[in-house]
Amino acid sequence: MSAFSLNHVYESQQFDRSLLDIVFSTADEMKADLQTRDRQHADALKGKIMASLFYEPSTRTRFSFESAMARLGGAILTTENAKEFSSAAKGESLYDSTHVMCGYADVIVMRHSEPGSAKTAAEVSTVPVINAGDGSGQHPTQALLDLYTLKDSFSNIDGVSIAMVGDLKYGRTVRSLSYLLTKYDKIKIYYVSPDVCRMDDDIKTYLTQNQIEWAEEDDLTKVLPLVDCVYMTRIQKERFHDPEDYVHAAGKYILDLKKVQMMKADAIIMHPLPRVDEIPQEVDQDPRARYFEQALNGLYIRMALLKLLLDQ
């Protein structure tokens, strides 16, 4: 297994299977370490500083990154809202902000509204940049924790079939996960969405080029008995330019207990969260519901990435 060779993490296409194996084995170490009293990695990043630069709202991603850095002994620079409470409010460019932050921190974790912004920052940064979501572009660390959850559930990701449901046009999580799934064999993806939220052609073309079988479907009930994983997403109201399109899409797919019973007994339900109404709380008690475990896996994956990027 080769050494971790990335200097930045800005898109899923950077990862091959050997790098994924390194990330997952390191995440396993982090998970095991947190479950012991005598923690070996508690000071792994002592003296290192992470800049948490979020221009858009976040709960799980931001706090899991900050928790990950703290649990590895590092320090954190953060702002409540970088769009309003940083010099971006004065018109400072991302280029200038990145240059400045490089002098203050050893790693920059960035969420921004513009697709490709993290890659742009990485091109000028002298410290690692991690993409924590770039508008409707990508969310690679979410995709990594999603794959890690699939690995935990099925041991082998090869041969997994998955339904991605909801907002596929604006959903950066499903885009990033689709890219990563091309690293595995005999994958089958069903895209289930309203017409106004269909997956963009660039992803479908990429899947075809990489011999990944995919199909589009309007009827969720047809797909539920066929798949190993149902990956629900919310309809992202904030991304829609036409209110009528949002009204057409909202509430179309709701995975209630009746629909859950159509799934395979050993299938799992995932969701990147936050949810709105697409999974009622009554589903939480079903053993197939893995979205809170999925969120916790984000801590282990982000601890792994920080350690791999900074402790080389």
Q: Which residues are catalytic?
A: 60-61, 90, 111, 139
232 phi/psi in degrees, rounded to 5: -85, 150
Tokens linked to 81? 């809202």
Contact 163, 224 (CB under 8 A): yes
Contact 39, 33 (CB under 8 A): yes
**C-alpha distances out from residue 219 to 161, 194, 222, 269, 288, Å:** 17, 10, 6, 17, 21
Contact 179, 12 (CB under 8 A): yes
Q: How many residues does the chain have?
A: 312
For residue 201, give the H/E element and its range.
helix 201-209
CA 120 to CA 1: how far, in whole Å?
Answer: 30
CA 141 to CA 220: how far, in whole Å?
Answer: 27
Tokens linked to 116? 């490709």
